[in-house]
Amino acid sequence: MRRDSITALRAATLEILKKEIAGHDSEPAGKVFKNVQINKDTPAIALLNAMDNVFGRALSVNCTFCHVDGKWDDDTKAAKKTTRMMIQLVAVINTEQLSKLPPNRNGQTPRIGCMTCHRGNQTPGNAMLP
């Protein structure tokens, strides 16, 4: 039930943001949005979709978990800073480590993502013990 309500909140926020960027959705996110530090060249609509489908779903959170509502470029929330570091961590693991493994039975190079550790939780649980 909780995840359904969070999904609905994210969907409502994304709908508003998609209307705000209408006509610019294929432009680079770094041009359309303020304070984009990672994935600047990603199309703006793809960045919004990733925030929903990748980050939001993997952690079962709403947009305001990382962002200040209505002040999307604000960096005061620690979760936003952590997310940037985690995006870079996942990229390094995928490109520098997992790329060395042979393809899996589907012929693809193994990859990880947010869901690998978070599995629908805000914290990765026992996946990252000190």
Reference 16, options 67, 57, 70; nearest CA is 70
pLDDT at 124: 86
Over residues 55-106, the pLDDT tens digits come to 999 999 999 999 999 999 999 999 999 999 999 999 999 999 999 999 999 9
Q: Are 75 and 66 in contact (CB under 8 A)?
A: no
28 beta partners:
43
pLDDT at 4: 82
Residue 119 has what DSSP assignment? T
pTM: 0.86
Q: Are 67 and 76 in contact (CB under 8 A)?
A: no
Q: Work out the pLDDT band at 1, boundaries 50, 70, 90.
A: low
Q: Work out the average pLDDT over 6-14.
A: 94
pLDDT at 128: 60
